[in-house]
Amino acid sequence: MNNREASTECGGYQLPEIRPLASSDLPRVMDIERQGYSHPWSEAVFRDCFKDNYRLWALFKEDCLIGYAVVAYLVDEAHLLNLCVHPGSRGCGAGRHLLKYLMGQARQDGMVQMLLEVRESNHSAERLYTSAGFEEIGRRPGYYPAADGREDARVMTVSLDK
Ligand SMILES: CC(C)(COP(=O)(O)OP(=O)(O)OC[C@H]1O[C@@H](n2cnc3c(N)ncnc32)[C@H](O)[C@@H]1OP(=O)(O)O)[C@@H](O)C(=O)NCCC(=O)NCCS
């Protein structure tokens, strides 16, 4: 695995390649995860997701892993559990590219709806999801741990049935 830091510029930016995430990618995933979240998942949580009803995707730029996503399929609903891009590769369309891809894959796999939770304070992620067609359908009070207690989650969904 190539652990070079990703470029911080978008000039001449080519969209990254998307491949299934492998367990051998997890050291790099953990590095990005710790930079992406105040309360990151543990490696054990990622390992638990390598199951039949989960889809794990990786974004690669010149063989360097720069982002990933985890989706769980439950009957005909896809639950987006994690979507993260390396801080040095944000703002160039990589997150949107991965989101659109995993939505298309979920549709192909027979899912009719996608659901996610997002921290109330996470405005960049909320804007990304809204721009991809997600709508807020409710809140989960105190869903996330926070530095000073708990934080609410917005619950957002999009129909894949189009
Ligand atoms: C959320 C995240 C995945 C976005 O990835 P990204 O590659 O930077 O996103 P993109 O460049 O594809 O941007 C797509 C849209 O997201 C929104 N967005 C992204 N970064 C933003 C920012 N800093 N401020 C406001 N909106 C932002 C915009 O709507 C943007 O569209 P636009 O460029 O046309 O305005 C990334 O910020 C990240 O990994 N954050 C940490 C982990 C996280 O919070 N994941 C979501 C958990 S629910």
Could you tell me the residue range of the domain that residue 78 belongs to? 17-159
* Most informative mutation of 33, 85, 114 for ligand 1 (most atoms within 8 A of CB): 85
Residue 86, ligand 1, Cβ within 6 A: no
Residue with CA closest to ligand 1 atom 7: 95
Average pLDDT over residues 3-29: 80
Task: Say how many Å lie between the CA of residue 90 and the centre of ligand 1.
Answer: 7
Residue 147 sits in a domain of what CATH number? 3.40.630.30
Residue 1 lies inside a defined structural domain of this protein? no
The pLDDT mean for the chain works out to 93
Judge whether 101 and 67 are in contact, CB under 8 Å. Answer: no
Phi/psi of residue 108, each to 5°?
Answer: -60, -30
Average pLDDT over residues 143-160: 96
pLDDT at 140 exceeding the cut of 80: yes
Judge whether 116 and 78 are in contact, CB under 8 Å. Answer: no
Atom of ligand 1 nearest to the CA of 127: 29
Look at the chain and count its residues: 162
Residue 107, ligand 1, Cβ within 6 A: no
Residue 7 lies inside a defined structural domain of this protein? no
User: For the chain, what is the domain count?
Assistant: 1
pLDDT of amino acid 34: 98
Residue 99, ligand 1, Cβ within 6 A: no
17-53 confidence digits (pLDDT tens): 999 999 999 999 999 999 999 999 999 999 999 999 9
Residue 12 lies inside a defined structural domain of this protein? no
**Token pair of 66 as six digits:** 């720069």
pLDDT at 160 exceeding the cut of 60: yes
* Conformational region of residue 62, where left means phi above 0, alpha means psi within -120 to 50, and beta covers everything else: left
Catalytically active residues, by annotation = 117, 129
pLDDT of amino acid 1: 34
Average pLDDT over residues 93-108: 98
Residue with CA closest to ligand 1 atom 43: 84
Confidence band, pLDDT 50/70/90 cuts, at residue 12: confident
Residue 34 lies inside a defined structural domain of this protein? yes
Residue 6 lies inside a defined structural domain of this protein? no
Residue 114 lies inside a defined structural domain of this protein? yes
Question: How far apart are alpha carbons 136 and 129 in whole angstroms?
Answer: 10
